[in-house]
Structures are given as C-alpha cells and as structure tokens.
Amino acid sequence: MSHPRFEPILKRFVTWASAEPTVRAAVIVGSQARRTTPADQWADLDLMVFTTDMSKLLDSRQWVEEFGPVVITFLEPTSVGDFRERRVLYSDGADVDFAILPAQGQAVVAAHPAAQSVLGRGYEVLIDKDRFWGTGSHPASPAKTVSTVPLEIPSFLETTSDFLYHVLWTARKLRRGEVWTAKFCCDGYLKFRLLRLLEWWVIAESHGQVDTWHSGRFVDEWAPPELRDRLPSTFARYDAADIARALNATMDLFGDLGRRIAAHLGTPYPELEESTVRTMVSETLAGLSSPM
C-alpha cells in the first residue's frame, strides 16, 4: 500500500530498525493500513514496534529524531491495550504514533482482544526479523466484531451499578457547585459506560456483523439512527442547569439500552436501584435554575 505523505519517514525508519538489534518487528496499523475507512489527508501513521528493550524507546527521544526534525514528542497510553506509545509531530506536519510493545510477547499481543480489534481491520508488515508476522499487506479479516468487555450478566450488572453510582456522584458534585468536575463526569466517565451499552446492543443485534470500533470511533456511522439521534441531548454546556438536563438525558438513554440488553440476556433490569438513584438525583438537584 502507498503512504506518500509518510514515505520519507518510513524509509528512514526501516533503515534504522533493520540495523537496530533490539527492534524485532514493526507493523503499520490503523487507517494507513485499512482498505475500509482508509486514511485521508488528516490521518496519522500508527506503528506497532516490537522491541526487546522497551525502556530504550520509551525513555529517549533521540531515536525518533533519526527520521526527521521533531517539533513535539511525548508518551501516552495506547488507545487499546495496556501499553504506551511515543507520539511524534515532525516539522513537515507528519504525525506518527509509535506503540512500543514487547518482542518477547508478540504472540500474546497478537492474540489479545484489543490488539485483534486493530489488526483485524488490516495491517502491513515493515519488518519481521523473527518471521512471526509474515510479509506485505494483510487485509481485514472476516471475523465478527466482539467487545473487549464480554456481554455477560455479571459485567452488565457491574457496568449498570457503576453508572448509577456515578450519576448520583455527579449530581452531588453539581449541587456543591463543582461544575467542572460534574461536567467531566457527565460528558466523560458516564459517556464511556453509556458507550459500552451501545456497543453491546449493536453487536448483539447484528450478531457481530457491525463493527463498533473502540472509544466511540465512527459512532455516528455504526450506531442505529434512533439511538444516534439521542446522543446530542446527553451532552451539556458548561452550565449547572444544562449539566443537570444532560445528566437526566444520559440516564434515560442508558436505561432504555439497559432494559434491551437485560431482555437479551434473560435477566431482570435493576429497576429498584435505578428508581432509588433517580429519586436521590431529583432531590439533590431540586432548586437548580433552568438552563438559558
């Protein structure tokens, strides 16, 4: 596959990695390797770099400077999986994410559900010194989409309890005047619990035929219109009363999805718990001014 914007960086990277004994493999993933929803002019380059010395690549920026003038580089957790990546912005505007992974565990990483959710959409092998990955481009596999958190009764009930507890927590923060904290939880923490239910429902309804991606990627494309159209009302302005409104809208959508999933699993929805929390939230937020 062609990566014209990144060709100079990739050429230098392959030369460096081929001569670097601690680097055992390098694989392009993400939009630059996909044939469906492929890269556009705004896409970055995602590389999985398997090394026998992770600290060497995580603790130093010198090696990424081998590929071009660096404007910014820093570390952050990978979007999927429990690893870290070095993100780099080069002076020509090219942005590259180098996910640093253990070479000793290539088989374990490849088999991990989070990694499979990425690799299953296609990948391209740049370097494979241990002959594990093969050569060239590997198109998307026909495997069904699965959630990284399995849809089972214990995980469903745990997620529901987690959500309801933090709904009340958010309301209390809001009532105390902690608008920043309340908005962060309403539009951050609670939304990821809502997203989990949305993913579960779409996967269950489609029997795994609809790709729900991760972290809400392309949600406007894979979510059913009748659910997608309700998402805007669940987000709030930086305003106490509007956060209260969005919090209730989030709870309504979560409850609707939760009842569908409970029926799918053949287990009762925790109606008493939800009713109790709704009453407590209503009492907590009584007296907040109406949104403008």
**Global pTM?**
0.77
Task: Supply the mean pLDDT for the chain.
Answer: 90
Residue 264 has pLDDT above 60, yes or no: yes
87-91, 101-105, 282-286: range with lowest mean pLDDT: 101-105
Starting at the edge strand found earlier in the chain, the sheet holding 70-77 runs 70-77, 84-90, 95-102, 45-51, 23-29, 123-128, 136-138
197-201, 232-236, 286-290: range with lowest mean pLDDT: 286-290
What pLDDT band is residue 289 in, cutting at 50, 70 and 90?
Answer: low
User: Where in the chain do CATH 1.20.120.330 domains reside?
Assistant: 153-285
Greater model confidence, 244 or 37: 244
pLDDT in tens, 157-195: 999 999 999 999 999 999 999 999 999 999 999 999 999
**Cβ atoms 185, 169 nearer than 8 A:** yes
**Cβ atoms 35, 18 nearer than 8 A:** no
pLDDT in tens, 114-158: 777 777 788 899 999 999 888 777 776 655 566 667 899 999 999
**Cβ atoms 267, 274 nearer than 8 A:** no
Determine the 3-state secondary structure of 239 from DSSP. coil
CATH for 4-138, among 2.30.30.140, 3.40.50.300, 3.30.460.10, 3.30.70.20?
3.30.460.10
Q: For residue 67, what are the contacts with CB-CB under 8 A and spacing of at least 6?
A: 8, 9, 12, 13, 16, 90, 96
User: Where in the chain do CATH 3.30.460.10 domains reside?
Assistant: 4-138
Mention the CATH class of domain 153-285.
mainly alpha
pLDDT in tens, 222-244: 999 999 999 999 999 999 999 99
